[in-house]
């Protein structure tokens, strides 16, 4: 729990050492744009999305990179914004690979490619699939997407309803959802495997 609290604190740097009441109020205010982003995502074509999503279960079908459904129901889900040409690529994919090695199919690990930070995910869908398979076989892949703003991928928009704040860089937004699809933790690109597994273990 200490690591989860630390991860949550890390997502709210602007709140500093504010008093608890003010910190909670600021977090609630910051969550409102994220909820709006979820609603916007639900109106876009492609996946069948439900408005005002508060969990992954509310999203309906979330497509993978080939247009089929991501199999997320009934297990914890660990979501990471990825890029293939970033300084965090090796460590980020290693963490996802290690999570899969520890839990197998008991946990869904999802890579969401994003080219917004430094244009470091320039490849086509086929190139991205090949790269992910070479780094972390078994990781599920979403289409290349934005992770901030009104066009943010729903897996990030939902996470930000609980843990507000823009993703600052590649691999800097790692959301963990429980078996019911509710966001329970957020980690950045300094998170360790131990941080992540300590949050996953109670969910199984």
Q: For residue 199, what are the CA distances in angstroms to 5, 24, 78, 183, 202? A: 10, 22, 10, 11, 6
What whole-number distance in Å separates Cα of residue 88 and Cα of residue 171? 7
Collect all residues with Cβ–Cβ distance below 8 Å to 159 and sequence separation of at least 6. 79, 173, 175, 177, 183, 186
Beta bridge partners of 78: 109, 176
Catalytic residue, candidates 86, 114, 167, 173: 86
What whole-number distance in Å separates Cα of residue 167 and Cα of residue 184? 17
What whole-number distance in Å separates Cα of residue 71 and Cα of residue 62? 9
What whole-number distance in Å separates Cα of residue 41 and Cα of residue 59? 9
DSSP state of 48: B
Residue 167 annotated to the active site: no
Q: Which residues are catalytic, by number? A: 86
């Amino acid at each position: 729990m200490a690591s989860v609290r630390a991860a949550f604190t890390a997502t709210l740097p602007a709140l500093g050492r504010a008093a608890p009441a003010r910190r909670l109020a600021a977090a609630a205010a910051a969550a409102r744009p994220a909820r709006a982003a979820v609603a916007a995502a639900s109106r876009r074509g492609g996946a069948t999305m439900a408005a005002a999503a508060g969990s992954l279960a509310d999203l309906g079908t979330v497509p993978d990179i080939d247009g089929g459904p991501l199999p997320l129901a009934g297990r914890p889900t660990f979501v990471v914004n990825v890029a293939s040409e970033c300084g965090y690529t090796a460590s980020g994919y290693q963490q996802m690979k290690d999570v899969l090695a520890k839990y197998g199919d008991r946990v869904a690990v999802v890579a969401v490619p994003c080219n917004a930070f430094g244009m470091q995910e320039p490849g086509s869908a086929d190139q991205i699939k090949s790269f992910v398979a070479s780094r972390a076989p078994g990781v599920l892949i979403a289409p290349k997407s934005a992770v901030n703003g009104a066009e943010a991928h729903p897996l990030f928009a939902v996470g930000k309803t609980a843990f507000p704040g823009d993703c600052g860089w590649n691999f800097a937004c790692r959301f963990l959802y429980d078996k019911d699809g509710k966001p329970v933790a957020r980690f950045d690109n300094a998170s360790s495997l131990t941080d992540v597994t300590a949050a996953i273990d109670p969910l199984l």
